[in-house]
Amino acid sequence: MKLHTYLNFPGTCEEAMNFYEKHLGTKVLMKSRFADMAGPNGLQNLPPDLKPNGIMHARFTIGDTIVMASDGPSERVQPMRSAYLSLSVDSNEEAERIYAALTEGGEIFMPMAEMFFAHRFGQFRDKFGTNWMVIHEKPMPRG
């Protein structure tokens, strides 16, 4: 069994994927657009706020994790509320770089700081509505 994250965006899926590619080094594995829907009437059933060039389904990787994504109707797509994507990095510099890039235009919940469990840790929602935690962990004693 595998668990994958599926992100929905209100018409900004491609912009978000490009942003994540630039700042996180993600790799797009595939993307299909609503205009690619089978059948001559496929686009007639598209909600009015979804554009034919919008992303119907995409898969990309963040590190060795596969994430799926799409654009969705604005009345159903809302920012994440109680779930986070957690990025574990190997240095304070990488944590600070990612935090600075992804918080731009977003909402900070916990500023980047040292914690008892981490050299650097921060929580935020990016400008696309995705919640993130960025952590450079400290070695913890085994219990």
The b-or-e profile of 57-72 (16+ CB within 10 A means b, else e) is bbbbebeeeebebbbb
Please say whether the beta carbons of 124 and 102 come within 8 A.
Answer: yes
- In the CATH scheme, what is the code of domain 1-75? 3.10.180.10
Least confident of 6-20, 21-35, 42-56, 66-80: 42-56
Torsions phi, psi for 17 (to 5 deg): -60, -40
Domain 79-143, CATH number (from 3.40.50.2300, 3.30.720.110, 3.30.230.10, 2.60.40.10): 3.30.720.110
pLDDT tens across 122-138, in order? 999 999 999 999 999 99
**How large is the average pLDDT for residues 8-31?**
96
85-88/131-137 β-pairing = parallel
Domain range summary for the chain, segments of one domain joined by +:
1-75, 79-143
pLDDT band per the 50, 70, 90 thresholds, residue 37: confident
Which DSSP helix (H) or strand (E) runs through 92?
Answer: helix 92-103
Which DSSP helix (H) or strand (E) runs through 100?
Answer: helix 92-103
What pTM was computed for the model?
A: 0.89
pLDDT tens across 39-54, in order? 566 677 777 778 888 9
**How large is the average pLDDT for residues 9-23?**
96
pLDDT of residue 39: 59
Fill in the DSSP letter of residue 81: S
